[in-house]
């Protein structure tokens, strides 16, 4: 097969599909000019290497990240976010090998905080986990193409996820800091409010938590803890760091009663529990050690501190939670390298 590929869209897509370089969707031709433009949004050389990516242990260079970002349809100003997300996933604490190769349907969820979310217009409000916004869609897609093309996580080959999930196409969201009554995730994790960061978790797709009736915290918290007490999720056996993404209306009701994130974490730890009689009947009870042998109600968290809390979405009384792969992978937060003044101006000019 020739190394020269026609830039005709139909021919390009067919060729990339034949070589296993895509995700099933049409790709943008990674021309030299487009890759150079992408690279202009980082101070790093294209030859710089971030390490190797499991399970295939492909070399992660800045240039290969740029190539995949172009293929995904990223605007160049998104590229620093892609770099930071990959850096976070390569942190040993994230345990990318397990995330890539497991039969579990987890996918790296990218949560963006700080000024850059506004600058590049990542959706944090209505439909934030869904379609319709280029930044969310293409940043998430770029990460997935990198996981496949560099890490080798091709479904059915090295990615052994039994069923997969739609979030394996793209899983990128910004926290709705403007309508959150609490400090944002990145500040909780040690960064300044003016810093821009990505946090990655190995998560299932969002599970809806629907409560249109409750006017007080007790009802909302009952809905939350009931939803999280799920014998079928890995957190019931492997614990880990699940995320609750509160809709702004639910968050406002809780905050009006002077409940902060730590209060919610403590409540969830105490009440999101599974009876031992149910826990031991199925799921994965026979595979893993019982960490709480003296309790009849088993928590889904080892510690209240393991619960991540963010605010996402528009109005409407829905929240959601993101179960995770378990305690073998930990959430990692990385700073996004600041763009220079030229790039900031170009973003403003582009969006008007």
* pLDDT score recorded for residue 173: 98
Residues forming a β-bridge with 321: 207, 244
For 222, the token pair is: 């009952």
Q: Domain ranges for the chain, please list them.
A: 1-172+188-202+333-352, 205-323
Mean pLDDT by 10 residues, the chain (352 residues): 64 86 92 96 96 98 98 98 98 98 97 98 98 98 98 94 96 98 98 98 97 97 97 94 98 98 98 92 82 82 97 97 97 86 38 32
* pLDDT score recorded for residue 344: 38
As a whole number of angstroms, the distance between CA 93 and CA 65 comes to: 21
Note whether 16 and 27 are within 8 A (CB). Answer: yes
Residue 346's Cβ-count burial label (10 Å; 0-12, 13-18, 19+) is: middle
Query: pTM for the whole thing?
Result: 0.93
* pLDDT score recorded for residue 288: 77
Q: Which of 109, 36, 41 is nearest to 78 (CA)?
A: 41
Cis peptide leading into residue 55 (ω within 30°)? yes
Sign of CA dihedral 170, 187, 324, 62: positive
Terminal Cα-to-Cα distance of the chain (whole angstroms) = 45
* pLDDT score recorded for residue 1: 35
């Amino acid at each position: 097969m020739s190394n020269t590929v026609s830039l005709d869209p139909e021919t390009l897509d067919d060729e990339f599909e034949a070589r296993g370089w895509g995700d099933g969707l049409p790709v943008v031709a990674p021309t030299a000019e487009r890759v150079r433009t992408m690279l202009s949004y980082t101070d790093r050389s294209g030859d710089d290497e971030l390490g190797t990516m499991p399970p295939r242990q492909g070399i992660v260079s800045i240039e290969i990240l740029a190539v995949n970002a172009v293929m995904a349809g990223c605007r160049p100003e998104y590229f620093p976010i892609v770099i930071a997300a990959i850096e976070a996933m390569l942190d040993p604490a994230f345990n990318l090998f397990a995330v890539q190769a497991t039969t579990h349907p987890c996918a790296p969820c990218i949560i963006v905080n700080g000024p850059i979310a506004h600058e590049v217009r990542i959706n944090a409000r209505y439909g934030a986990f869904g379609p319709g916004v280029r930044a969310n869609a293409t940043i998430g897609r770029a990460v997935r193409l990198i996981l496949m093309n560099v890490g080798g996580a091709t479904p059915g080959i090295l990615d052994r996820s039994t069923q997969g999930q739609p979030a394996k196409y793209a899983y990128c969201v910004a926290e709705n800091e403007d309508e959150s009554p609490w400090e944002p995730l990145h500040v909780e994790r040690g960064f300044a409010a003016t810093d821009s960061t990505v946090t990655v978790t190995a998560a299932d797709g969002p599970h809806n938590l629907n409560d249109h009736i409750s006017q007080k915290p007790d009802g909302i918290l009952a809905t939350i803890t009931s939803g999280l007490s799920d014998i079928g999720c890995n957190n019931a056996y492997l614990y880990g760091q699940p995320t609750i993404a509160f809709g702004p209306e639910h968050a406002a009701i809780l905050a009006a009663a002077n409940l902060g994130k730590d209060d919610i974490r403590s409540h969830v730890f105490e009440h999101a529990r599974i009876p031992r009689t149910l826990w031991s009947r199925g799921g994965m009870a026979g595979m893993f050690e019982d960490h709480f042998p003296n309790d009849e109600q088993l928590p889904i968290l080892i510690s209240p501190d393991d619960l991540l809390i963010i605010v996402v979405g528009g109005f409407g009384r829905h929240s959601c939670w993101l179960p995770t792969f378990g305690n073998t992978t930990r959430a990692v937060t990385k700073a996004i390298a600041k763009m220079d003044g030229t790039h900031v101006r170009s973003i403003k000019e582009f969006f008007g």
